Structure 1
Amino acid sequence: MKEINIGRVLMKKRKEKGITQDELANYIGVSKASVSKWETEQSYPDVTFLPQLAAYFNISIDELMDYQPQMTKEDIRALYKKMSGKFASEPLEAVLTECRAIIKKYYSCFPLLLQMGILMINHLELEKDPERSAGLLREAKELFVRVREESEDVAASRQAVYMEALCSLTAGEPDAALELLGRTVEPALPAESLLSAAYQMKGEPEHAKSVLQAGIFQNMVVLFNFLPAYMMLCAQEPKKFEETLRRTLLAAEVFDMQSLHPWHLINVYVTAAQGYMIQEKTEKALEMLERFADLAISDIYPMKLHGDSYFDLLDDWLEELDLGGSLPRDEKTIRKSMTDLVTVNPAFAALASEKRYQMIVRKLT
């Protein structure tokens, strides 16, 4: 991340041109001491001198100021990780103030705005005041709207639409979400099979495999988003609920989700437990919560997206993602969220007097 650094640029350009501070001062019409202070950043040139200085060195004013209105992917990734850690360890309002200052500074850097909005959404639960939480949600949504309306990056705009719709749903505005997403499911036309075929045709079989691995992995993640949601919708239909859970657990075993992506399996267990509570099947709910707790306290940290012996070409692709293989929340925040899924979840309030439930809570805390 670069800051304005006019002093360094002035010194560099002056030396390249082979002139002294006196000569530059005479040209601009200031004292040598002024030029010296500019170069050592004890002070800055008056704004009226900037066009003259830029013209003298044949550079733009942005170049003169070393101003970068955009951040690199690496900068954004590092910043996200840093701020995520701050959300876990520092006062919420102080971190939000810092986020807002960064947003203001890089307001034309759409990849950054997208990630800052996602950062806010992923830490929304830290704001306990409903009114301020709603305000923070609106703030994040405004960032997604800006990216959607003004970014020329198709992928970023598409992601912004998704996040804006998520904000609308969180705010209890389903019609707004439907308007953004469309009211029907369009047939999927996955590009991975064509990309893979193209690379294979070019005689690049490993590249072809890596494309398909990335496609399989992405669709697997999507599947494990769909299945718990569908299972919950079927909570009032015990047979459909049980069959959905059975298929979900089988798929989790086939793809080794416990190792590959434990967060999704954790979500399956909690959702299943909630469904069983709706069905008043306490024993089965407790069984799911016990599975949840055992996984939550197991050796799954630090959580990071990664490949395995089957997805052996995946890691390079993951590193190209906006956040790399990192999850969107700090480990401390993730651990607390997992504990809260059980301990402050109203769905499990009726279990408070159950010894098995109390043991689960002790495990988690």
Structure 2
Amino acid sequence: MNIKIGAIIKKLRAENNITQDVLATAIGVTPQAISRWEAEGGYPDIELLPALADFFSVSTDELLGYKLSQREEEITNIKKEISRLAEVGTIEERITFARNAISRYPADFEIKENLAVCLYHLWCDTKNNDLIKEIENLCSSVVAECKDEDTRYDAINVLINIYGGTKQVEKAMQSVNLLTPMKYCREFAKSSGIGDGNTEFYIQDEIDKLTDCLGTAISNYPLADELPNDPSTWDRKIEMLTISNHLYKMIYGDNLMFYHVRLSQNYWLISTYQISQGKKDETLASLEKMCYHAIEYDKAYINDHGKFYTSIFTDKLIYPKPNKDFHELTEHTNCYHMLDRLQNKRYDCVRQDSRFVSIIERLNQHAK
């Protein structure tokens, strides 16, 4: 039988973003030996097979080419379940699942980063500082060894959040400095033209990403810890959220497709301040706009993936299907989530109003 163990080792290394140097150190050989195996210039000694299998959390059978597809399928299913639980699971369920997944695949950096995120959310809820060291260890491992830039950057952001939340300013800044400055990002570089005839698309892609970054930043501004949540700030916060909505409409026009979800969120936030001010009519008007954009987003999610935006700034861009670089909630509709928010007792003073009742009825038609 033609044993392709070198190709399998190379594949496992690539999947787990492990360098030849790291693997060599872990099993006690030279990087040159790893390189030779992967080039099919020789095989590892038989006594090294258990160490190799343990390192990659596979069986020796898999290492020799058996059942590798089964392992890949299991990892794919694990990551699908991680995504599902991120939307509908409790934080405890997510942590338990991630820990079990890591026990099976301890070298998988994406699972490690997910566990770190879950633990960070638990820390946010409990302020249990016993969690911090584990979060640091998980993220530091990913940052030091993972070659997938998205997973690595996600881990860096978790470190920034935990250090910022615990007032470890120096460590937070050290982590920030691991990220690439905005002026050097690939979107900026490509929008200047790289000679492939796609400069107009690259410019629109840059506009798209900058718009959503700016719109989201403006929407997050009212929620910043440094901006007190008292009546003196509410009009200012409403103005910020209104400007965010204008920004999306200016760039995308009426054909917002995905970005209806941003406006639905903003109008809901606006309503929370208006209801606190006792402005019932204004609250209901904002909730009606929230309802409209929530429904339009849910329709777009069903019907519009793959279609082009139509404004002069975005007509070269399509509304993509959910992927590694474009995340959408998939377990429930936006209307479902908005209905949940309207259960808050802050809305009791308008709950019997015919306009509020109509909003609930319309959302229910699209909620699942």
Please state which band the TM-score falls in when normalised by the shorter chain: 0.5 to 0.7
Aligned partner of 2:57 in structure 1 is none
Aligned-partner residue type, residue 189 of structure 1: K
Secondary structure of 2:167's counterpart equals: helix
2:324 is aligned with 1:323: yes
Aligned-partner residue type, residue 110 of structure 1: F
User: Structure 1 residues 250, 90: closer, same or farther in 2, change over 3 A?
Assistant: closer
1:209 aligned residue (200, 204, 207):
200
Write the distance in 1 (CA, Å) between the matches of 2:48 and 2:241. 71
2:151 is aligned with 1:151: no
Aligned partner of 2:219 in structure 1 is 228
Secondary structure of 2:158's counterpart equals: helix
1:197 aligned residue (177, 192, 198):
192
Aligned partner of 1:292 in structure 2 is 290
Aligned partner of 2:38 in structure 1 is none
Aligned partner of 1:270 in structure 2 is 268
Q: Give the superposition deviation at 1:362.
A: 3.9
Deviation readout 1:38-79 (Å, 9 max, x if unpaired): xxxxxxxxxxx953989xxxxxx67426587xx98x997775
Aligned partner of 2:257 in structure 1 is 259
Write the distance in 2 (CA, Å) between the matches of 1:325 and 1:259. 14
Q: Give the superposition deviation at 1:138.
A: 9.2
Write the distance in 1 (CA, Å) between the matches of 2:128 and 2:360. 27
Aligned-partner residue type, residue 217 of structure 2: F
Write the distance in 2 (CA, Å) between the matches of 1:52 and 1:194. 46
Write the distance in 1 (CA, Å) between the matches of 2:302 and 2:110. 25
User: Structure 1 residues 224, 121: closer, same or farther in 2, change over 3 A?
Assistant: farther
Q: Give the superposition deviation at 1:224.
A: 1.9
Structure-to-structure mapping, 1:14-93, within 5 angstroms: 50-51=46-47, 63-64=63-64, 79-85=78-84
- Give TM-score scaled by structure 2 length: 0.59
Deviation readout 1:266-311 (Å, 9 max, x if unpaired): 1111111122234332221221112112332342334987652453
- Residues 165 and 177 of structure 1 are in contact (CA less than 8 Å); yes or no, is this contact kept in structure 2? no
Secondary structure of 1:301's counterpart equals: helix
2:172 aligned residue (169, 180, 191):
180
Aligned-partner residue type, residue 361 of structure 1: I
Secondary structure of 2:342's counterpart equals: helix
User: Structure 1 residues 144, 364: closer, same or farther in 2, change over 3 A?
Assistant: farther
Aligned partner of 1:110 in structure 2 is 109
User: Structure 1 residues 295, 315: closer, same or farther in 2, change over 3 A?
Assistant: closer
Structure ranking higher on relative contact order (CA contacts 8 Å, 6+ apart): 1
Q: Give the superposition deviation at 1:219.
A: 1.3
**Number of residue-to-residue matches in the alignment:** 297
Deviation readout 1:141-192 (Å, 9 max, x if unpaired): 76445423543455433322223444677xxx35248852579999742533
Bigger mean CA deviation after superposition, 147-156 or 136-145: 136-145
2:355 is aligned with 1:356: yes
Secondary structure of 1:300's counterpart equals: helix
Write the distance in 2 (CA, Å) between the matches of 1:209 and 1:121. 42
User: Structure 1 residues 136, 286: closer, same or farther in 2, change over 3 A?
Assistant: farther
2:341 is aligned with 1:341: yes
Write the distance in 2 (CA, Å) between the matches of 1:275 and 1:177. 32
- Give TM-score scaled by structure 1 length: 0.60
- Residues 163 and 171 of structure 2 are in contact (CA less than 8 Å); yes or no, is this contact kept in structure 1? no
- Residues 196 and 209 of structure 1 are in contact (CA less than 8 Å); yes or no, is this contact kept in structure 2? yes
2:281 is aligned with 1:280: no
Write the distance in 2 (CA, Å) between the matches of 1:326 and 1:152. 21
Write the distance in 2 (CA, Å) between the matches of 1:152 and 1:88. 27
Write the distance in 1 (CA, Å) between the matches of 2:172 and 2:114. 19
Q: Give the superposition deviation at 1:82.
A: 4.5
User: Structure 1 residues 231, 195: closer, same or farther in 2, change over 3 A?
Assistant: same
Write the distance in 2 (CA, Å) between the matches of 1:362 and 1:179. 49
- Residues 227 and 248 of structure 1 are in contact (CA less than 8 Å); yes or no, is this contact kept in structure 2? yes
Runs (5+) with no aligned partner, structure 2: 5-44, 51-59
Secondary structure of 1:308's counterpart equals: coil
Aligned-partner residue type, residue 51 of structure 1: E
- Residues 304 and 325 of structure 1 are in contact (CA less than 8 Å); yes or no, is this contact kept in structure 2? no
Aligned-partner residue type, residue 148 of structure 1: V
User: Structure 1 residues 279, 211: closer, same or farther in 2, change over 3 A?
Assistant: same
Write the distance in 2 (CA, Å) between the matches of 1:229 and 1:52. 52
Structure-to-structure mapping, 1:95-134, within 5 angstroms: 97-115=96-114, 120=118
Write the distance in 2 (CA, Å) between the matches of 1:187 and 1:89. 34
Write the distance in 2 (CA, Å) between the matches of 1:282 and 1:179. 46
Write the distance in 1 (CA, Å) between the matches of 2:144 and 2:325. 26
